[in-house]
Amino acid sequence: MARKAGSHADITGPAIREVAQRLFAHSGYAAVSMRQIAAEVGVGVGALYLYTPDKQTLLFDLMRDHMSALLDAWEATDKGETPEAQLQAFVSFHIDFHIDRPDAVFLAYMELRNLTPENFAVIEALRRQYEDHLQDILTLGQEAGAFHVEDARVITMALIAMLAGIHVWYRDGGRLSRDRIQTLYLELVRRTVSP
Amino acid sequence: MARKAGSHADITGPAIREVAQRLFAHSGYAAVSMRQIAAEVGVGVGALYLYTPDKQTLLFDLMRDHMSALLDAWEATDKGETPEAQLQAFVSFHIDFHIDRPDAVFLAYMELRNLTPENFAVIEALRRQYEDHLQDILTLGQEAGAFHVEDARVITMALIAMLAGIHVWYRDGGRLSRDRIQTLYLELVRRTVSP
DNA sequence: TTTGTATATGAACAGGTGTTCATTTCAATC
DNA sequence: GATTGAAATGAACACCTGTTCATATACAAA
């Protein structure tokens, strides 16, 4: 046997990435073998290497694409004018974006140490860009007298950690609706920086 | 060669656990081999199996011992009487305990998916116990009118995530002293629940 | 219908995995 | 000094790892 009927690059490529993301998120990069990915996709091992030069690049591409999509989506978001509106926009955006991509979020937070140093630096820079968007909102709001911000960097990290923690307990169809979560966390964030 | 000069069980045993914790935290459970651990300790592979039945149990024991130590240490902490004092005690305790054990904390948060289902259930129950201590403080404080707590479970998870996030950026000898971090986070938590 | 190429295969390679166990060594006890 | 048992060894086992490549097929173009 060799090439199967109905096989196409524009199907296999995305399929490999989807399967890899799911398996990496569930079991961890090091615990997932290329043969497992291939089997789940329904191809032989060799086929994977038509779509990625190696396993490390497969992981890196997944993480980089997630971070790029995150930054692009925030760029495209309507942010409002006042610091209060911008902070609210950031929190709503963050929750919405992340709650729909649990596997990608898991990867981006948990597999950093499995990146080569060069790849890690790239992802870390993207993550820092995202954090800086929030930090800028806080700093400008502080200068405008809209927020009380004792240490912008610390509060940025505290708020991001708080929001990132949602993925630990959130389950689709659980006790709390997405709207309810948005409301609760918006209030928490508002309290954290209110003057 | 077989047994080395000056070798003792009460030295090798702890050494294996320390090395395993450091390597697991740094590279991840699946990426660390028993041969690496043995080499770092300075013994042959076989010696490891005098101290642990298998690799999975080695990981589980590290995580369980960490969680037990956490719960015991909180038990032994002076908590004060008022809800405000208890909340402050919890935050101070949490930061102090976790900042001194970065590897153990990393393990307990990152390697849950590498536990067998049975072992996972045990660790998860211990974690839940710890979370419940905070949740109880919040609920009692709410009932006493000392706190404004919209949803005790959500705020518990949000505060724990916020505190757990410290280990992401904290470095010994960094910009912020331990005392400064305590002060900043105490204020953040206070704001989150103030009536 | 023939040809060219994109797509896929899976055996092969060199090395690594967790775990076992017959064997050896050291240090303490008699 | 002889004996004993705890402590440690490292080769061996069966299997898995990421990656390569000669080979084969299916489809589109000529």
The encoded tokens of residue B112 equal: 């849950």
Task: Write out the H or E segment, with its range, that includes residue B41.
Answer: helix B34-41
What pLDDT was estimated at residue B1?
A: 46
Reply yes or no on whether the pLDDT at A2 is more than 80: no
Read off the pLDDT band of B6 (50, 70, 90).
Answer: low
Q: Assign residue A26 the CATH number of its domain.
A: 1.10.10.60
The rounded mean pLDDT for chain B is 95
Asked if B116 has any chain A CB less than 8 Å from its own CB, the reply is no
Residue in the block written with tokens 């410290």: B166
- Looking at the structure, do residues A109 and A180 belong to the same domain, yes or no? yes
Q: Where do runs of H (alpha helix) occur along chain A?
A: 9-27, 34-41, 45-48, 55-75, 83-99, 102-110, 117-143, 152-164, 166-169, 178-193
What pLDDT was estimated at residue A1?
A: 44
- Looking at the structure, do residues B124 and B187 belong to the same domain, yes or no? yes
For residue A94, give the nearest of A110, A122, A71 by alpha carbon.
A71
Cα–Cα distance measured from residue B112 to residue B30, given in angstroms and rounded to the nearest whole number: 12
- Looking at the structure, do residues B42 and B133 belong to the same domain, yes or no? no
Buried b (16+ CB within 10 A) or exposed e, B165-194: bbbebbeeeeebeeeebbebbebbbeebbe
Q: Per mean pLDDT, which range of A85-89, B19-23, B169-173 is the poorest?
A: B169-173
Q: Assign residue B66 the CATH number of its domain.
A: 1.10.357.10
Read off the pLDDT band of B5 (50, 70, 90).
Answer: low
Q: Domain range for residue A38?
A: 1-52
Integer CA distances (angstroms), B160 to B18, B170, B185, in order: 26, 16, 11
- Looking at the structure, do residues A65 and A158 belong to the same domain, yes or no? yes
Residue B14 burial (C-beta neighbours within 10 Å; 0-12, 13-18, 19+): exposed
Cα–Cα distance measured from residue B151 to residue A15, given in angstroms and rounded to the nearest whole number: 40
In chain B, the percentage of residues whose pLDDT exceeds 70 is: 96
- Looking at the structure, do residues B4 and B66 belong to the same domain, yes or no? no
What pLDDT was estimated at residue B131?
A: 98
State how many domains chain A has: 2
In chain B, the percentage of residues whose pLDDT exceeds 90 is: 94
Q: How many CB pairs under 8 A join A and B?
A: 80
pLDDT digits (tens, 9 = 90+) for A130-187: 999 999 999 999 999 999 999 999 999 999 999 999 999 999 999 999 999 999 999 9
Tell me the nt nearest to A41, Cα to C1'.
C8
pLDDT digits (tens, 9 = 90+) for B63-73: 999 999 999 99
For residue B86, give the nearest of B190, B191, B195, B192 by alpha carbon.
B190
What pLDDT was estimated at residue A128?
A: 98
What's the Å distance between residue A31 CA and nucleotide C16 C1'? 14
- Looking at the structure, do residues B68 and B16 belong to the same domain, yes or no? no
The rounded mean pLDDT for chain A is 95
Residue in the block written with tokens 């998870």: B157
pLDDT digits (tens, 9 = 90+) for B93-116: 999 999 999 999 999 999 999 999
Instruction: Report yes or no: B146 and B88 within 8 Å, Cβ to Cβ.
Output: no
What pLDDT was estimated at residue B10?
A: 82
What's the Å distance between residue A121 CA and nucleotide D9 C1'? 42
